[in-house]
Amino acid sequence: MSIQSCPEREVHLTIDPKNLPPLNKLSEIVENVRIIPLETNQSCFIKTVLDIYVGKSSVFVITTNGSLYRFSADGKFLNKIGAIGKGPGEFISLHGMTVSDESSKVNVRSWQMRKILEYSFDGKLIQEIPLTNGVNLCAILDSTRIAYTSNEDYEVKIINLSTGDTLKYFKTSPQPGLWMPFLSGSSSMGFFYSALGRDTIWKIEPDSMRPKIICHFGSGHLSSSGFYKSITNPKGFPSGKLSLNSSAIYGSGYYSLNLLREVRRGAYEYINVLINEKTKNSWHLGYSQTNDSDDILFTRSGDFKSVSPSGEWVSLILADELVAALPKIKANKKFDYTPELIAQLEKITVDDNPVIVLYRLK
């Protein structure tokens, strides 16, 4: 696996799918790890999480059943935002959020009702922004601009809400069946776009888009047409081929992207690649590391949720998994956990809410 950067500051990632580099350990590049146990009570009981944002003073969690909770920076429950329903300020379901620490506003997206709802941090509805038919994914770039992918003409667009102007960029797919888009990022760290089967991750600017990460898989690249053929063929993926499995996340000088590879029929390998923007060094991390030198605080970290404004990488671990893993965490002599973190872990019970884990990379 090699990385290079061209004058336009594009990052080129070269991987041979038939000869992947050995798995690295996340602990090798982590300087510090801390946790935020989320308060558990009847007002904010969380089963599973759809989206997380760790901000300067608040933590926001969207659950898979459509609730939006706000916690303090140390995990104390503060308030619930919005409610399920069809009235003003209500939603049927949620599909992501964009948080602005500067303006103390949170925007949430509800596709079934085709609208974006903007709330203050204390839960007051500020406005509802209607979405046009066909909107699939969207990202709120700033107070006036929204980037979105369209189900109607399969383009990535940016609309200026104050002027009504829409900038059209490129087709996401030559035909509807060959399309699975990804939008990721945050207002503080930037937004990115890609699609399954593509080889490029694009950086979304307020008025433009430009290539940011270009993947080179050679003959081992699974194109969008190849992916479409594979899912309509009972034999599944062509074994060993690689495809982008999401867009990028950026923070504290690192990019994170996820790849998908079938190692045998019906068995898929999810690969997380971390790239240091400055040194161009990269780390190849698996979602299911079993290396004895790392414990659960690192082995369950392949699925980064976001990056906080302070540059910490955000992941999530279920409370019961941490309780079961506590003896191994205490026995880990290869990473220096703080006494405060161990004390926090000892208080966690299996019935607690999921625990947020934050990594400060070197």
Q: How far apart are the first and last CA of the chain?
A: 21
**Residue-level pLDDT at 7:** 43
Sequence spans of domains, the chain: 2-37+132-361
Mean pLDDT within 155-162: 81
Which of 40-44, 235-239, 242-246, 253-257 shows the lowest mean pLDDT across its residues? 235-239
Contact 145, 158 (CB under 8 A): yes
Mean pLDDT within 115-141: 85
The whole-angstrom separation of Cα 44 and Cα 30 is 31
Mean pLDDT within 6-29: 78
Contact 78, 113 (CB under 8 A): no
Report which listed range, 54-58, 126-130, 320-324, is most confident. 54-58
The whole-angstrom separation of Cα 77 and Cα 247 is 31
**Residue-level pLDDT at 187:** 78
Does residue 2 have a pLDDT over 50?
A: no
The whole-angstrom separation of Cα 240 and Cα 210 is 29
Does residue 244 have a pLDDT over 70?
A: yes
The whole-angstrom separation of Cα 46 and Cα 50 is 11
Does residue 3 have a pLDDT over 50?
A: no
Does residue 22 have a pLDDT over 80?
A: no
Tell me how crowded residue 31 is: count the other CB atoms within 10 A of its CB: 8
Which pLDDT band holds residue 322 (cuts at 50, 70, 90)?
Answer: confident
Does residue 217 have a pLDDT over 70?
A: yes
Does residue 353 have a pLDDT over 90?
A: yes
Which helix (H) or strand (E) covers residue 325, if one does?
helix 319-331
At 7, the amino acid letter reads P
* Residue 171 in tokens: 């087709």
**Residue-level pLDDT at 305:** 85
Does residue 8 have a pLDDT over 70?
A: no
Buried b (16+ CB within 10 A) or exposed e, 336-349: ebeeebeebbeebe
* Residue 31 in tokens: 């300087």
